[in-house]
Structure 1
């Protein structure tokens, strides 16, 4: 991404317009600190945003509709209509129309990022049920973006001030974890985490904890041999190369004793092992970051929350942090330099 004289442009794909994505986006962008740092471009539809502005009585939120990101205004919240037809907004209701809008918003943002027109992408939550089609199976943002940008692999990396958790296996049934939990996969995810901690978060010689798979980390083979046969050899390999990698730790005791505060990152073996403690500790401030991609993508760590959509009670903290985190990673990667010479 070549430097411009203005602020970095952050694209925001609006997600499911019947969920809380529009609400948390609008509330987050009312924070003047964000507007001083970045230029936001919402990929969605003006009718949906106008509906929620009125519904939620957010009269101070204003946006400028543009035909494409080429017309971006650096002192405004910009909005690109991703579909010609006006969507029907039905807070809390799953519709095929809202799924179509969410996918169109994501795809247009991806296209603009590939063209170098935006510097980072923040994805608001969508619904996998109404976004899927017989032609294209949508497992999740992480997998979709990994394929879209031709990356061999990526890391689902949940980050907050006091905890960063990455996953060896992500959106797969728990019955498939054993098949996917190989030395090679653990090695790949550890490398992705270490590289991200250094390049995206600016941490020199990061210290990483690796969790075990089984209760009590297998208890010396009594409760499972994956720690002895698969996980331990990879940890020793990284240590032999001078990396600060430790474990495997029993997940319950590790988080119960708040040991995550002693490490720069924690590698969990499967989705719920990492996300349950993460969301318990950092739900309002947590950010989902896709490490290992050539682009910067973050998102809030919550879903569409249909049950509270349109009620003006959704907390925008995670969305706000996702935008701040995207900005920080862009700077840490050296992809942006401000007019004052910050890098």
Structure 2
């Protein structure tokens, strides 16, 4: 028999609770003893297996349940719904299966729910909309399917919504974009379709429901189409990461890019046309720019290399023409990767590329470069006699 003494210095009480258990030495399966009054149960990274015992529902004073990174599996016992005081639940990195039970809608004080990296199936239960105090919801890396329930739009205190790497389909409900406290929304690598709502961030007052506090937004690897809605994001003054690649967007990039002054990551691949806006040069905190696999034409704007923080540029497989700007790495010394292959860029490679002292990957293949490379002898035909 063993005893866990759980401590949490963040709470007023140092001794939070005691729980008794026995572990089978051969299988590692946990056998639970009759429970004691417990406020916090932290059991992460212990590599214990077995199922969660229904007796856990007797811990009526429990406010935090952390079973992160174990080998617990099976379905969750319905008795967990008795834990009405819970504010924090983390079951990530386990082997839980079956549908996400409606019991999660029975925790009126819950602020954080993390079910990441399990094997949950079925749809997202509408009962989650009852968690009106929820600030963080992570369902990433499961096997969830069906449409996103529009009822999630009732979670007006939600700040982070992460549901990447599932099999969700259908359009993103417009009510999802009515959560004014939302800071990060990650819906990438699903099977979502439709188009983004036109009122994703309108000029309506924040109390009506905008995403003005959004820091990160990702819907990459889906099937979302329609005209590219960059104008919908320009009223998000805190936006740092915008990941939209591998969708079915069409059209041109808006020149209102300069409004996204805090943007550090921008990735939009496939199907876009038109010119690369010179306004990218005004995004002075940008580190990653991914515009590969599109149909952008015209020259690479010189202004792009005025960004001193820029580390990664991908413009592969477009129809970019003209010559390389001669100011490469003059004011962007941090550049580490430059991918320009499969375009129609011509002329000589400028000598200024030697200023890219941090460069680790350079891709210029399948273009129309001519002349000689920096540091080599000129062809005889061009030398004076």
**Does the pair score TM above 0.5?**
no
Between the two structures, name the one with larger relative contact order (CA 8 Å, sep ≥ 6): 1
What TM-score, normalized by structure 1, do the two folds share?
Answer: 0.30
Structure showing greater Rg: 2
Which protein has the bigger strand share? Answer: 2
What TM-score, normalized by structure 2, do the two folds share?
Answer: 0.27
Which protein has the bigger helix share? Answer: 1
